[in-house]
Amino acid sequence: MLHAAAPVTAADLVFINLDGAGEGLNDPTPASPSGGNPGTTVGERRLLVLEEAGRIWGRFLVSTVPIRVEVEFSSLSSGVLAGAAPIDLEENFANAPVADTWYPVALANSLAGADLQPSRNDITVTVNSNADFYLGFDGDGPGSQSDLLDVMLHEIGHGLGFISYVDEATGGLFAGSIDIFSSFIFDAQVQKPWTAMTSSERAASVDNDPFLVWRGPSATAGFPAILDPASGGSGTDIFIDEGGGNARQVGYLPALFGPDVSAAEGLSVEVIVADDGSTAPGPAEPGVPGTTTDACQPIINAAAMNGKVAMVRRGACNFDDKVWRAQVAGASAVLVANNVDGALVSMSGDGEVDGSTVSITIPAVFISQAEGDAIESAPPGTLVSFSGGANLFAGTNDGFLRIHAPASVQPGSSLSHWTTDASPNLLMEPIINANLDRDLDLTLTQMKDIGWEVVDIPFPHLTYDLWRDCEFPAGAVLTGRHEDADRDGVTNFEEYVFASDPLEAGDGNLPVIVLDEGVKSVSFTRTTLSTDLAFAFEKSGDLLSFVPAVEGVDFTTPSIVPAGPGAERVTFEILTPGTRQFFRVRVTTP
């Protein structure tokens, strides 16, 4: 048995060695210390990697009950590095946050404050004994080796609760109840959470990439601090509305020619299926009959299409030929629908139509065959809308982080990972990538969403609502933004902004002006854990209208020093004005 020492406030991970003598964790093969790992045998170095993984996880999670992780090295399929899962699931235990919902036993123990299965371990991990692992702590192994520390951090994450128990084939729930992980899965295309779906609806949603997303508040608040900006036109959402208020979102890839799809934002008009009146073969596929909707000939329903969005079919001619003909017919934008049941493609063109150079001035996107079929069978008056989307970060959709939902369902991998489109790479993607964040990136916010008490998340992650849920006990009253729970004259929102305790009276963190030997300065404490606040220093001559104060003219460069966990103290000197001036710290939210 191995112990991963941890601070008293943190979780204590205990590793149980299931390997036999001379194998796996007991391998006596001599090895040299390297990469920060002082072990001198292969087995000892593996054991120390486990301890390091336990120390990292234990630093962030709180549990008064030790987390028992059994580990065994065994021969697994080629390409599989390891596998892990909770050993038990629990529901309706003491302090369970959500009734009739399965929780991994380690989390249930933490919430209950007691070991619910004292005779059993909590997490099981099997590591491939045939894999070539780097056993250092520094993440600096050769590219030919997988980093065992990253693998263990990943697998422990599954055991702690990054795992779905919904049947990928049937959409059925485990023993009739949803698990806490799957309760946060949401289908952005149909705008429906998995908790509200039937089994058949969930089965249809399992591979609905890129629309399957994680709708947990902590991960959603945290990803702007971690993920890179998205590229291409993915910042624009497209919706189809056939009437009745049930608009559905459309997945697409933007064309590589013409203006960005964002140029169509604000457009909401009828979609018209193109008709070129011909089934003659096109230049791209001689001998293959075309369709009347492929727009490889001049469009004959131009009068109906003028100012509308055109839908055309793939095939018979170049993509830019189709978009050009729709543009000539007066279309404002073009949806090019696939003519086969396959992956979306990035459309390119040669800039010529019928031997003449053309310029595409309207945006175009590529959509699926199924979406094209639905549009063709939709009633007259069906609308297509382009709006400024929330997919401004790599790996997100509809303002939420995407779940791994490949078109070909991968049992054990689909659902229980983040999308591979996230950038930078995340710990809980299905592939262990190099240069992972040993501070556990967005995995910590996911753990917070499912119920773990998480300490010291090392990046901004809070909104007022999340702060309120952390600071006030369940059932507390006077938790509104403009209420004052501790009756000290400072509203709850001001307590949040200035990093003070809403349940302990005091106003020491609020902005104050200090006069010291003729030098006037402003000083205040503010939170460093917010993603929904913006600070500005403003001035006024009459207290009626304020304008931004100018650094170097009205005030000096601020001095900023740490002021405890999640807070900093800001101080700057006010430069002597020529006339009477009033100053204020202005805090705004999006």
Q: How confident is the model at residue 46 (pLDDT cuts 50, 70, 90)?
A: very high
Do 348 and 489 lie in one domain? The reply is: no
Mean predicted confidence (pLDDT) in 412-416:
94
CATH number of the domain encompassing residue 328: 3.50.30.30
Whether residue 577 has pLDDT greater than 80: no
Please tell me the predicted confidence (pLDDT) of residue 459: 64
Do 157 and 14 lie in one domain? The reply is: yes
Q: 65 in the Ramachandran plot: left (φ > 0), alpha (ψ -120 to 50) or beta?
A: beta
pLDDT digits (tens, 9 = 90+) for 92-107: 999 999 999 999 999 9
Residue 573 falls within a domain, yes or no?
yes
Do 38 and 156 lie in one domain? The reply is: yes
Residue 22 falls within a domain, yes or no?
yes
Residue 421 falls within a domain, yes or no?
no
Q: Which of 186, 213, 179, 180 is nearest to 202 (CA)?
A: 186
CA angle centred on 45, ends 40 and 46, rounded to 5° = 150
Do 105 and 7 lie in one domain? The reply is: yes
Residue 346 falls within a domain, yes or no?
yes
CATH number of the domain encompassing residue 9: 3.10.170
Please tell me the predicted confidence (pLDDT) of residue 188: 85
Residue 86 Cα distances to 68, 121, 156, 512, angstroms? 10, 9, 9, 52
Residue 231 falls within a domain, yes or no?
no
Do 515 and 369 lie in one domain? The reply is: no
Q: Which residue's entry shows tokens 């979406």?
A: 371
Residue 131 falls within a domain, yes or no?
yes
Do 250 and 130 lie in one domain? The reply is: no
Do 475 and 368 lie in one domain? The reply is: no
Whether residue 398 has pLDDT greater than 80: no
Q: Which residue would you say has higher pLDDT here, 342 or 60?
A: 60
Full-prediction pTM beyond 0.85?
A: no
Whether residue 180 has pLDDT greater than 70: yes
Do 478 and 371 lie in one domain? The reply is: no
The two tokens of residue 134 are 């780097």
Query: Which of 107, 142, 161 is the last residue before a domain boundary?
Result: 161
**Spatial distance between the Cα atoms of 40 and 293, rounded to a whole number of angstroms:** 70
pLDDT digits (tens, 9 = 90+) for 287-323: 788 899 999 999 999 999 999 999 999 998 999 999 9
Do 506 and 362 lie in one domain? The reply is: no
Q: Which of 518, 512, 537, 531 is nearest to 226 (CA)?
A: 531
Please tell me the predicted confidence (pLDDT) of residue 1: 45
Q: How confident is the model at residue 8 (pLDDT cuts 50, 70, 90)?
A: very low
| Structural contact between residues 94 and 147, judged by C-beta atoms closer than 8 angstroms | no
Whether residue 402 has pLDDT greater than 60: yes
Please tell me the predicted confidence (pLDDT) of residue 308: 96
Mean pLDDT of the chain: 90
Query: Which of 349, 384, 419 is the last residue before a domain boundary?
Result: 384
Q: Which residue would you say has higher pLDDT here, 162 or 252?
A: 162
Do 134 and 251 lie in one domain? The reply is: no
Q: How confident is the model at residue 495 (pLDDT cuts 50, 70, 90)?
A: very high
The two tokens of residue 246 are 């049930």
Please name the helix (run of DSSP H) or strand (run of DSSP E) that holds residue 53, with its range, or none. Answer: helix 42-60
Residue 176 falls within a domain, yes or no?
no
Among the residue ranges 17-26, 51-60, 465-474, 488-497, the one predicted with the least confidence is 465-474
Please tell me the predicted confidence (pLDDT) of residue 346: 82
Whether residue 197 has pLDDT greater than 50: yes
Whether residue 244 has pLDDT greater than 70: no
Q: Which domain holds residue 9?
A: 2-161
**Spatial distance between the Cα atoms of 55 and 62, rounded to a whole number of angstroms:** 12
pLDDT digits (tens, 9 = 90+) for 431-463: 988 878 888 999 999 999 999 988 877 666 667
| Structural contact between residues 89 and 174, judged by C-beta atoms closer than 8 angstroms | yes
Q: How confident is the model at residue 532 (pLDDT cuts 50, 70, 90)?
A: confident
Query: Which of 104, 134, 161 is the last residue before a domain boundary?
Result: 161
Do 265 and 147 lie in one domain? The reply is: no
Domain count for the chain, please give it.
Answer: 3
Do 153 and 289 lie in one domain? The reply is: no
Dihedral (CA of 86, 91, 97, 100) sign: positive
Q: How confident is the model at residue 252 (pLDDT cuts 50, 70, 90)?
A: confident
Q: Which of 350, 275, 261, 263 is nearest to 305 (CA)?
A: 275
pLDDT digits (tens, 9 = 90+) for 53-77: 999 999 999 999 999 999 999 999 9
Strand pairing category for 352-353 and 236-241: unpaired
pLDDT digits (tens, 9 = 90+) for 206-216: 999 999 999 99
CATH number of the domain encompassing residue 573: 2.60.40
Residue 108 falls within a domain, yes or no?
yes
